[in-house]
Amino acid sequence: MNANTNVDDAEIAHFDRIAELWWDPDGKMGQLHAINHLRLTFITDRFPTSNPRVVDVGCGGGILSEALCRSGAEVTGIDPSSLSLKVARKHALSEGLEINYRSVDVETLAQAEAGSFDVVTCMEMLEHVPHPEHIVAACARLLKPGGVAFFSTINRSFKAFAFAIVAGEYILGLLPRGTHRYDRLIRPRELYGWAATNGLRHTAVASLMYNPLRHRFRVAPNREDVNYMASFKRET
């Protein structure tokens, strides 16, 4: 049992179990590969500085961490799933990428290294923790003034239930079954509220739209749909 009550052991066990799938673009984690270049552009377009210090919170096998590293960022990736980190380290090594992977929770890191990152990315992760608002607070703390935070998650709406859970996990099989729990999904207003409480000003939002006929995703700017991502600036 993890000492941090904001780490759900069942969630971590799930990600440990599927750790070998992270780098199979045709497997059950393929959706993250399919959206990676889209979310990367959303993020790098909003970098507050070139070659920023980035912490990727809930980095999993490092799909986004590696892309950020290739785009010139100095990347630290953190995740409580030790098997995922093992896969991430091995993969980065094989690609010749230098990424600092650490098995530490974000609240602990925020106490030790407050104000030391230009960018925080926390993608597809908030819906896997009991208290996402505490994660948002810790992410805000990690940022330098003027730094930028990125969060992506799934909306808690009927459409999200139908598309992300029923269709995504059970009909189309885009994601492993049991990946998402409806009650853990997050409405954009909730995310913006937690961010504002922690000195993060909402700056942009976009959604990733899936076309099942073409098996392709595209970005819809200024839209809060099923899969949305948002950026926030830490007030100086």
Residue holding tokens 């052991």? 9
* Per-residue exposure over 65-98, b if at least 16 CB sit within 10 Å of its own CB, e if not: bbbbbebebbbbbbbbbebbbebbbebbeeeebe
Q: Is 195 in the site for ligand SAH (CB under 6 A)?
A: no
| Dist CA 26 CA 31 (whole Å) | 9
Out of 6, 41, 100, 157, point to the residue binding ligand SAH (CB under 6 A): 6
Nearest approach in angstroms of CB 217 to ligand SAH is 13
Q: List residues bridging with 207 in a β-sheet.
A: 220, 228
Q: Is 149 in the site for ligand SAH (CB under 6 A)?
A: no
Distances (CA, A) of 77 to 106, 162, 213: 10, 32, 34
Q: How far does CA 162 lie from the centroid of its chain?
A: 22
Q: Is 63 in the site for ligand SAH (CB under 6 A)?
A: yes
| Dist CA 78 CA 56 (whole Å) | 6
Q: Is 108 in the site for ligand SAH (CB under 6 A)?
A: no
Question: And the tokens for 32?
Answer: 């993250």
Task: Determine the size of the site formed for ligand SAH (CB under 6 A).
Answer: 23
| Residue placing its CB nearer to ligand SAH in the complex, 122 or 205 | 122
Q: How far does CA 178 lie from the centroid of its chain?
A: 18
| Residue placing its CB nearer to ligand SAH in the complex, 124 or 225 | 124
Nearest approach in angstroms of CB 236 to ligand SAH is 27
Nearest to 128 by CA among 106, 103, 99: 106
| Residue placing its CB nearer to ligand SAH in the complex, 136 or 200 | 136
Nearest approach in angstroms of CB 59 to ligand SAH is 6
Nearest approach in angstroms of CB 108 to ligand SAH is 10
| Dist CA 228 CA 206 (whole Å) | 6
Question: And the tokens for 196?
Answer: 């504002």
| Dist CA 236 CA 215 (whole Å) | 42
| Residue placing its CB nearer to ligand SAH in the complex, 84 or 198 | 84
Q: Is 67 in the site for ligand SAH (CB under 6 A)?
A: no
Q: Is 85 in the site for ligand SAH (CB under 6 A)?
A: no
| Residue placing its CB nearer to ligand SAH in the complex, 105 or 133 | 105
Nearest approach in angstroms of CB 140 to ligand SAH is 15
Question: And the tokens for 114?
Answer: 């407050």
Where along the sequence are the contacts to ligand SAH (CB under 6 A)? Answer: 6-7, 11-12, 15, 32, 57-60, 63-64, 79-81, 84, 105-106, 123-125, 128-129
